[in-house]
Structure 1
Amino acid sequence: MSNDQRIDYIELNVADIARSRQFYGDAFGWAFTDYGPDYCEFRDGRLSGGFTTLGEVRSGGGPLVILYAGDLTATLARVKAAGGTIVRPIYTFPGGQRFHFADPDGYELAVYTEVPGK
């Protein structure tokens, strides 16, 4: 399968790379590779991206990044335990459920799961 015209990489400007690593590692189990003091790559097992301190933090802006979780309730608990703020609690939409959260820099992301039979 070609990666042409598919999301390939996501980059977030953050205030503190160590804090972002800790949050996303604790909440989602992501793996990381450091490339100097201003850049860290993350991998979720399917998609890669990066944290950088070289740009302005743009919390609350840009596209909504949506993650998938098989167990939405357990993932919400991990996000809260890792220091995330729940912006919108679990709600149902056609075919699934999701919640929105803000990471330590204020980026809003969502996590969804499919509802069987919908």
Structure 2
Amino acid sequence: MKPINNHINYIEFITHDLEATKTFYNQAFGWEFTDYGDNYVAFESSGVAGGFEKVDKPIVNGVLVVLYHDNLDDAKSKILDLGGRLSVDTFSFPGGRRFQFLDPSGNELAVWCHDQ
């Protein structure tokens, strides 16, 4: 299914232990996983695409909602014009690019697009 602009497209969690997390969600809910290096795993069979990133920092809010937009620069500009603040500037990953931002209330979200 093709991603749709401005829709929630991906949910990203953080974890301290990828293997324990994969075992838990596989056995509890039947989720399936694809590893991307030592610090990231994507999941499917959950109703929405997502992933887990291994981190060492304390987990305060372990969920990152990821929106899709086919013009990352336009989305970023609009967010900044409306009072959003960048928390992670644009970076590339296999298949695309994304940035993370804080909304005016301090909630962190991300926006991504396919490689173009």
TM-score under structure 1 normalisation? 0.48
The structure carrying a bigger strand percent of its residues is 2
TM-score under structure 2 normalisation? 0.48
